[in-house]
Amino acid sequence: MKYCIGIDTGGTYTDAVLLESETGKVVHWAKKPTTHHDVGIGVGNALAALFSQEIQAADVECLAVSTTLATNAVVENRGARVGLFVLGYVRHFKLPVVANVFLKGGHDISGNEEQPLDIENLIDTLQGLKDEVDSYAVCGAMSIKNPTHELVAEKAIALIDPKPVFCSHRVSSHPGMRERAATACLHARLQPLMVDFLASIQGSMAKVGLECPVTIICGDGQGVALDTVSHRAAITMASGPAATAGFGATAGEHTALVVDVGGTTTDVCMLKDGQPVMNNEGCRIDRWQTHVKAIDMYTAAGGGDSHLSCSREGGITLLPTRVQPLATTPDIPDPAGWLGCGQRDGLILPVPGVVDPEDPVLSCLADKGPLTPEALARQSGMSGVTLEKRIERLLFLQKIGITGFTPTDALHVLGRLDIGDVEIATRGAEALAAQLGLTVESLCRQTLDRTEETIEKIILDYLGRSIWGEQQATPFLNHMDNELFSIQFKLKLPLIGIGAAARVFLPGVAKRLQTTVTFPDLFETGNAIGAALIGMKRR
């Protein structure tokens, strides 16, 4: 008997499934925590749990991998620091990168040079930029017709700063400067993350003796060989949702919304006639509209590990960042001593084994243990923007972590989840409830209500854009509830729930949207199964 393995690495868990190659039957499955400081540990733990005396690594003929790490990095505004050079006479636009630099140059629709490239200004700008960025993106006007200016800029950058450079003509053949620039920027932003992730896959395979071919799931639902991904990192942006759709298509519904609720994000895609709907123009991830071919989907921040922020004036808010829940973070001080209204940044954690005496933040955490940002400022001598930038950088490098109160903690307190420390979650809820003048139960129920509202909005954002377009949908959906009226929607199609948190949140979301939700067998590991099914088709 031969087998295929599917792996899905998410922001909270790494799932692995073992399928019979001939029948597609799931033989074993495993769910292990994702280890962000070294993703290979979580992947290795999940792989090792699949094997037994009867099934050995040599029996596996293919390994297929999907991941939401790229989409999570985008919605959480993490990733490499990118400098963008835009060449040509175009209307200025902004992307969430370190620098948007607009220079003379570019070509017209026929590929003729409109203006000479301002190479001197490019070189002058590089001198002040090279210490602030990790990679570069270059987008020239009509470079899809004539990429000469992009290639010259690429060469000039490489001579001054030997960091990765991504030219838009290599990653997109569509017009549209902003979208093409966004696509190049995302390749530049995600490459280091994906290189590390792919290396962790190879290392984990070696430890368990796997030597089979590896397929990486792309956003369009197709698989590519592992060694082709590192220079085209953005094609994995919708990897997790593509696996979600692949699994959702086995649920037996002809037309439905597939909703994957994870720890960091919620992904939504549509099935029509039993198959995922494709978007050949390019997928949208949070604020980024791209030219990356993918299934028609929408991903936004919101899940079981979203960071809860509260204030006496504004009440409870879910932030777009993922933190480690209190319940699953060992060896932290009593939340009553540090958790409260306004503590948006939570408690900053040292990562085991990460020591750098030259870094004031890391050395301080190694010496003192977990600290609030305020205490870290006092102890390290850093403060303000300097400290904020250093914390952001260390988070990107996975050298520190953050813990705070999350919906996962609220579920523990209410007795609806039991995978961590209920007592520490309860202490956190007590600290926040006391400052807001609420009971612990009321705080936790409001936290879950906010989570359901967030997921509901993600679903409506996706459907609204598909019906009305973004320009009409956004202002309308942002004002559904105002001082004069409120609007409720009734969906004409059912939901299919996937992901460990789906069972908890989607029944309430379905009730809000006056529809139904179903959970296929093994929905908790649906993305890993979807990845394996795609990998089996490719072998």
Query: Domains of the chain: which residue ranges?
Result: 82-189, 327-439
Task: Provide the pLDDT confidence category of residue 111 given band limits of 50, 70 and 90.
Answer: very high
pLDDT at 121 over 90: yes
pLDDT at 345 over 70: no
How far the first Cα of the chain sits from its last, in Å, is 16
CA-based nearest residue to 249, from 211, 285, 278, 287:
278
H/E element, 219: none
pLDDT at 84 over 90: yes
H/E element, 295: strand 294-295
Residue 326: partners with Cβ closer than 8 Å, 6 or more residues away? 332, 335, 403, 404, 405, 406, 409, 420, 421, 424, 425, 427, 428
Predicted pLDDT of residue 344: 56
pLDDT at 214 over 80: yes
Looking at the DSSP bridge assignments, the partners of residue 498 are: 260
Half-sphere exposure of 523 (CA within 13 A, CB side): 24
Residue 115: partners with Cβ closer than 8 Å, 6 or more residues away? 88, 89, 104, 105, 106
Mean pLDDT of 165-190: 89
| Residue 511 structure tokens | 């009730």
Task: Provide the pLDDT confidence category of residue 119 given band limits of 50, 70 and 90.
Answer: very high
Q: How far apart are CA 308 and CA 211, in angstroms?
A: 43
Mean pLDDT of 229-241: 77
Predicted pLDDT of residue 342: 57
Q: How far apart are CA 50 and CA 204, in angstroms?
A: 13
pLDDT at 502 over 80: yes
Q: How far apart are CA 30 and CA 26, in angstroms?
A: 11
Predicted pLDDT of residue 157: 96
Is beta strand 82-87 parallel, antiparallel or unpaired with respect to 26-33? Answer: unpaired
Task: Provide the pLDDT confidence category of residue 341 given band limits of 50, 70 and 90.
Answer: low
Q: How would you write 4-56 as a 3-class SS string? A: EEEEEECCCEEEEEEEECCCCCEEEEEEEECCCCCHHHHHHHHHHCCCCCCCC
The sign of the CA dihedral 157, 162, 163, 165 is: positive
pLDDT at 267 over 80: yes
Give the 3-state secondary structure percentages of the chain, helix then strand then coil, rounded to 5.
Answer: 40, 25, 35
Predicted pLDDT of residue 263: 87
For residue 61, with 0-12 CB atoms within 10 Å meaning exposed, 13-18 middle and 19 or more buried, which class applies? middle
**Cα separations in angstroms, 360 against 272, 368, 383:** 54, 12, 11
Q: Amino acid letter at 271?
A: L
pLDDT at 539 over 70: no
pLDDT in tens, 437-453: 899 999 999 999 999 99
What CA dihedral angle connects 330, 332, 338 and 342, to 10 degrees? -30
Half-sphere exposure of 164 (CA within 13 A, CB side): 20
Residue 97: partners with Cβ closer than 8 Å, 6 or more residues away? 81, 82, 83, 84, 137, 185, 189
pLDDT at 509 over 60: yes
For residue 125, with 0-12 CB atoms within 10 Å meaning exposed, 13-18 middle and 19 or more buried, which class applies? middle
Predicted pLDDT of residue 96: 82
Q: How far apart are CA 480 and CA 471, in angstroms?
A: 15
pLDDT higher at 227 or 137 = 137
H-state helical runs in 147-256: 148-160, 168-171, 177-208, 239-248
Q: Amino acid letter at 42?
A: G
Mean pLDDT of 469-477: 76
- For residues 166 and 138, the answer to whether their CB atoms sit within 8 Å is yes
> At 128, phi and psi to the nearest 5?
-90, -10
Predicted pLDDT of residue 384: 85
**Cα separations in angstroms, 66 against 107, 246, 255, 312:** 38, 11, 24, 41
pLDDT in tens, 17-29: 999 998 889 999 9
Q: What is the mean pLDDT of the chain?
A: 88
Task: Provide the pLDDT confidence category of residue 314 given band limits of 50, 70 and 90.
Answer: low
Collapsed DSSP state (helix, strand, coil) of residue 182: helix
Predicted pLDDT of residue 536: 86
pLDDT at 351 over 60: yes
pLDDT at 232 over 60: yes
pLDDT in tens, 512-532: 999 999 999 999 898 999 999
Collapsed DSSP state (helix, strand, coil) of residue 306: strand
| Residue 27 structure tokens | 């033989």
Q: How far apart are CA 198 and CA 228, in angstroms?
A: 11
| Residue 41 structure tokens | 């540990």
Q: Residues of the chain with pLDDT > 70: what percent?
A: 98
